[in-house]
Amino acid sequence: MKTDVLDYKLPSSAIAQHSVSPRDASKLMVFNRATGSLEHTKFSEIGRFLKPGDLLVFNNSKVFRARLHSLSGAIEIFLLRPQGAAWDCLGKPGRKLHVGARVEFERGVIGVVSERFENGRFLFAFERSGTAMEPGEVIAFANDVGEIPIPPYVAQKPIELSDYQTVYAKHTGSVAAPTAGFHFTERLLGELRGQGIQTAEVTLHVGIGTFQPIKTETVEEHEMHFEWAEISDETAQAIADARSSGKRVIAVGTTTVRALEGLGGEAGSRDVNIFINPGYQFKMIDALVTNFHLPRSTLMLLVGAFLECKPGGDGIEMLKKLYAEAILRKYRFYSFGDGMFVL
């Protein structure tokens, strides 16, 4: 598949710069794959499309302030994920980040480049007062002095980390938010549970595997990077119970999909780099809550794959038609934008 089939034109005015308030007041496009029916409503009305016993599965990963600047301000480091005692990072300017380079940060923290990778990535070892810093110490340091890792299309960075966080975030490790969950408020979750909707959580720490655009000429050439995922015993049992009783498993967000499909719904934890393309046979989910995604993204591919409800269906073409409808109706796109519910 040529990557340029994932292109579409989006007016800059459609790129959301912040969440609406309250968050569940965002728009919701509801598309039924089997019937082709399309409905437009508010996210707070999502309960109308759910049934008692349906299982909503959320990614409870929590974002940290992953963007660091050197003491001089000349170097920017974007923490991606721990690699043993070191960190896989993006960094710029690359010319200053040769192997062995020492970068000074606030509070006596030093980062040493131990390896260079492709695509502007580096392996950094962090130390303070000559002592190596554990991953948890690096995260705590970043949360004290770093910046919220807002996407580049957002002009003004929020001050509070909660503005770029789901209300159910628990386990710190993401450098980008699982944004489909932004639409859920405590009030809405309470209403859904009162309606008999079941909920469960997985963890997938969002990193470059999720947000890196496809830069190769064909989709198949793209390298999907690893991200850490976990399914608890409780969640695995909830999924098994839902499936055995004929209830729907509904993933909230593409990262939740990748955790569920990558681990097969089984309890456990490991790195996953599952790359879901059109033609993929979904095994774990029956419906998907998602946002409107960037061109040439693996997220578009995943949603397009899910839209292929029958053999021979062109999920990417259908997705672009839905996006065109969303643009016409002035939906808000990307991380802080509106939602889509694919049944």
In DSSP notation, 193-213 reads HHTT-EEEEEEE---HHHHPP
CA–CA dist 192, 56 (Å, integer):
10
Question: How far is residue 163's CA from residue 274's CA, in Å, rounded to a whole number?
Answer: 29
**For range 57-80, the mean pLDDT:** 97
For the beta sheet containing 227-231, the strands, ordered from the edge strand earlier in sequence to the opposite edge, are 38-42, 27-31, 339-342, 287-291, 249-252, 55-59, 198-204, 227-231, 268-272
- Averaged pLDDT, 206-235: 95
**What integer is the mean pLDDT of 201-227?**
94
CA distance 202 to 270: 12
pLDDT of residue 119: 76
pLDDT for residue 311: 52
Query: What is the rounded average pLDDT for all residues in the chain?
Result: 95
Domain ranges for the chain: 3-63+159-342, 67-145
Predicted TM-score of the model (pTM): 0.95
Kindly tell me if the per-residue pLDDT of 278 is higher than 60.
yes
Tell me the three state secondary structure of residue 157. Answer: coil
In the three-class reduction of DSSP (H, G, I as helix; E, B as strand; rest coil), residue 309 is classed as: coil
Average pLDDT for 316-342: 97
CA pair distance 110, 212, nearest whole angstrom: 27
Rounded mean pLDDT, 186-210? 97
- Kindly tell me if the per-residue pLDDT of 338 is higher than 90: yes
Res 325: pLDDT: 98
- Number of CB atoms found within 10 A of residue 189's CB: 17
**Neighbour count for residue 135 (Cβ, 10 Å):** 17
Overall average pLDDT of the 249-271 stretch: 98
Provide mean pLDDT across the span 83-106: 94
| 157-163 contact pairs (CB < 8 A, 24+) | 158/18, 161/63, 161/64, 161/65, 163/18, 163/19
Average pLDDT on 178-184 reads 98
- Percent of the chain beyond pLDDT 90? 94
Which is more confidently placed, 311 or 164? 164
Domains 3-63+159-342 and 67-145 share a fold: no
Q: pLDDT band at residue 157, thresholds of 50, 70 and 90?
A: confident
* Token pair in block for residue 225: 């990077």
* Alpha-carbon dihedral sign for residues 10, 12, 17, 22: negative
Closest CA to 336 of 205, 182, 207, 210: 182
Q: Is the N-terminal amide bond of 22 cis, ω within 30° of 0?
A: yes
Quick check: 205 pLDDT over 80?
yes
Q: What is the CATH code for 3-63+159-342?
A: 3.40.1780.10
Whether residue 93 is preceded by a cis peptide bond, meaning omega within 30 degrees of 0, is yes
Nearest CA-CA partner of 287 in 242, 224, 327: 242
- The CATH label, of 2.40.10.240, 3.40.50.720, 3.40.50.300, 3.30.499.10, for the domain at 67-145 is 2.40.10.240
Q: What is the pLDDT of residue 313?
A: 60
Length of the chain: 343
Examine the pLDDT at 120 and tell me if it is beyond 90: no
The model's confidence at residue 308, banded by pLDDT at 50, 70 and 90, is confident
CA distance 69 to 259: 31
For residue 64, pLDDT over 60 is answered with yes
pLDDT at 229 over 60: yes
Determine the average pLDDT of the residues in 276-295: 96
Q: Which range, of 5-9, 41-45, 305-309, averages the lowest pLDDT?
A: 305-309
